[in-house]
Amino acid sequence: MKRRNFIQQTAATTALVTLGGLGLQSFTASKTKKITILHTNDVHSHIDPFGPNDARNANKGGVARRASLIESIRNENPNTLLLDAGDIFQGTPYFNYYGGELEFKLMSMLKYDAATIGNHDFDNGIDGLFAQLPHAKFEFVSANYDFSNTIMDTHVKPYKIFNKNGIKIGVFGLGIELEGLVLKKLFKETKYIDPIEISQDITRVLKEDKNCDLIICLSHLGYHYRNEPEIISDLKLAKATKNIDLIIGGHTHTFLPKPTIEKNIENKNVLVNQVGCYGLYLGKIDFYFDSKKNKTAEGASIIV
């Protein structure tokens, strides 16, 4: 009897959430919702774990292990997003033999939700990337690559909005300047747009027009360039923009033991994270939402 009532209650709640566009749970004063963001970057075709004799990463990494870890986290919290910040391709013979097919197929098996495009994802040319798209059952997001004069046109969206348990999560992508880094014959007519300017536009759309509760940037710009501080990086982006809650980075293969907390242009906190490379780590950020009316002035507490 208890169970039946519970199911009825749940069903009624769900219906109302859909109907009203606002949480019934939110009416019950202090119901907490948890969103888990899992992320990788610069996996570089590292499908198998490193062998026992590897000098640096012995017995670390491996897609099959990552799969079981992700599954256990999803079982714990179904409101989970799995994201990748680019450079999926290049680094083992898997890429040379299959051109990224297996990488995309496995990411689809692991139910990745979105990825952005790294410079090495152009290594078989923009045509090589395009050819593998049918194997990817997840979205590619990039706001600052203009693909309109390329074969990738319409296949990459600037952002994607996910709805998890009534929480709207906007995820947009940023890529690195390709000129001088990737051969022109590979990236062809892909145009690079200034990341800060486009981020200001996109975050405004996501926050004001789309009413996102959480905004995540998938960036392949690189964490920070100590010797060339004028180059755009994740830390610079965090400081120069607003409304971004989390920047998931890549490119510089930076192993951050914990996320960096940066202040944005409005002096609000932005988390910047990156988990090195080769699938050696999985990043996990949990966001807790509350529907209490009295919002705390300090904003969210951050435990890293």
The full DSSP string for 109-151 is HTT--EE---GGGGTTHHHHHHHHGGG--SEEB-SSEE-TTST
Q: Select 7 or 194, whichever has its Cβ closest to another protein.
A: 7
Amino acid at 33: K
**225-258: b (≥16 Cβ within 10 Å) or e:** eeeeeeebbbbbbbeebbbbbbbbbbbbbbebee
CB 110 within 8 A of CB 85: no
Q: Select 144 or 243, whichever has its Cβ closest to another protein.
A: 243
Q: Select 123 or 139, whichever has its Cβ closest to another protein.
A: 123
Least Å distance, CB 148 to another protein, is 26
Cβ burial of 68 (10 Å; 0-12, 13-18, 19+) is exposed
Least Å distance, CB 259 to another protein, is 4
Least Å distance, CB 267 to another protein, is 16
Instruction: Tell me how far apart the alpha carbons of residues 15 and 167 are, in angstroms, rounded to a whole number.
Output: 16
Contacts for 97 with CB less than 8 Å, ≥ 6 apart? none
Q: Select 59 or 149, whichever has its Cβ closest to another protein.
A: 59
Instruction: Identify the three-state secondary structure at position 271.
Output: strand
Instruction: Identify the three-state secondary structure at position 66.
Output: helix
Least Å distance, CB 81 to another protein, is 14
Least Å distance, CB 133 to another protein, is 19
Q: Select 196 or 291, whichever has its Cβ closest to another protein.
A: 291
Q: Select 106 or 143, whichever has its Cβ closest to another protein.
A: 106
Least Å distance, CB 69 to another protein, is 5
Residue 93 phi, psi (nearest 5): -60, -20
Instruction: Tell me how far apart the alpha carbons of residues 209 and 229 are, in angstroms, rounded to a whole number.
Output: 33
Least Å distance, CB 283 to another protein, is 5
In DSSP terms, 84 is beta-bridged to: 40, 115
Q: Select 18 or 154, whichever has its Cβ closest to another protein.
A: 18
